[in-house]
Amino acid sequence: MDVGSATLDRSSLVDFAKATASLVVVLLLWELVTQLELIHYYFLPPLSDILVRADSSFASLTADGTMFRHGYLTVRRALIGLVIACVLGIVVGVLSARSRIVGWFWDPIIEVGYPVPVIALIPVFLFWFGSGDTPIIALVVVGCFWPVALNTRNATREVDENLIWSARMMGTSDRELVRKVVIPAASPGIISGIQIALPISLIITFVYEMVAGTAGLGYLEIQGVRSFDSVQVYATLIAIMILGFVLDRALRVLRHRFLAWT
C-alpha cells in the first residue's frame, strides 16, 4: 500500500469516527443507565439485551427468520407504493409544469393535498379495503405522491428555457423534448422529491401495520407491546431504523450515479 492510499484510509476512518461519535456516546449512555437500573427494565431494557441477550432480542428474532419475514413484508409494501407514487407523481408534475390546462387542474390539488397528514386517512382506508397489502400500498401511494409531484413540478418549471429553445431549434418534437431535455434537466429536483417520499413510505407502512396489520415490522412491534415484551419492541425499532438507513443510502448511491454530471 502506498503512502497516498494509507493517508486516504486514515482520513476516511477519521471522518467516519467524527460522524458516528455522537451515536456511540448515546448508545454507551443507554447501556450504562440501564445497567445501573436508573430506568425500569420495562421502559428501557439494556441495549445488550435488546441486541443479543434476551429471548426476543434482535439476534434471536433474526436467527429464527422472524425479523426477515416481517421486514420483507414491510419493505415490499413500502417500495411498491413508492414506485407507483413516483410514476404518477412524475407524470403529473411534468404535465402540470408543461401544460396550462393540466396545471390549472392539478396545481391547487397538489397545494392542498401536500400538507394533509396521510396518517389521518388510515380509518378511511380501513373502511374501504380492510387489512392486507392493498390498503397499505394504496395509502403509501397517496402519501408519497404529493412530495414527488410537487418537487417534479417545481423542478420542471425551473428548467432553463435556453435548453428548451435550443432543442426546438434543432427540430426536437414535444415528446422528445420532455424525454431528452426536460426530465434530465429536472432530475435533481425529481430525485429530491423521491428522497423525501422514501421515509414517508416506511412511516405509513409501519403505522398501518401497527394499527391494522397481520404481519410486518409494525405488527411485530405492537405484538411486543401487547405481550409486555419491551425487548421485542425495541428490537423491532432497531430493525426499522436499519432498513430506513440502508434504503436511504442506496438511494443516495443511485442519485450519485444518475446525477454524476451535476
Q: What is the rounded CA–CA span in Å between residue 56 and residue 164?
A: 59
Which amino acid makes up residue 141? V
Mean pLDDT by 10 residues, the chain (262 residues): 54 68 87 88 89 84 92 95 95 89 87 83 85 89 94 88 74 73 86 93 93 89 91 93 91 82 58
pLDDT of residue 11: 66
Reported pTM: 0.85
pLDDT of residue 9: 59
Instruction: Decide: 51 and 58 in contact? Cβ < 8 Å.
Output: yes
Residue with cell 430525485: 191
**259's grid cell:** 446525477
Q: What is the rounded CA–CA span in Å between residue 184 and residue 68?
A: 37
pLDDT of residue 259: 75
Could you give the residue ranges of the DSSP H alpha helices within 114-258?
A: 122-129, 133-157, 161-169, 174-177, 183-212, 217-226, 230-258
Q: Crossing angle, helix 66-98 and helix 183-212, to 10 degrees?
A: 140
Measured from the Cβ of residue 15, the count of other Cβ atoms closer than 10 Å reads 10
Q: What is the rounded CA–CA span in Å between residue 150 and residue 154?
A: 6
Could you tell me the residue ranges of all domains in the chain? 3-39, 60-258
**151's grid cell:** 418537487
Which amino acid makes up residue 24? V
pLDDT of residue 55: 80
Alpha-carbon distances of 129 from 34, 45, 212, 232, rounded to whole Å: 43, 37, 11, 29
Residue with cell 396550462: 100
Q: What is the rounded CA–CA span in Å between residue 139 and residue 125?
A: 7
Domain covering 60-258, topology: MetI-like fold (1.10.3720)
The dihedral sign for the CA sequence 179, 182, 183, 184: positive
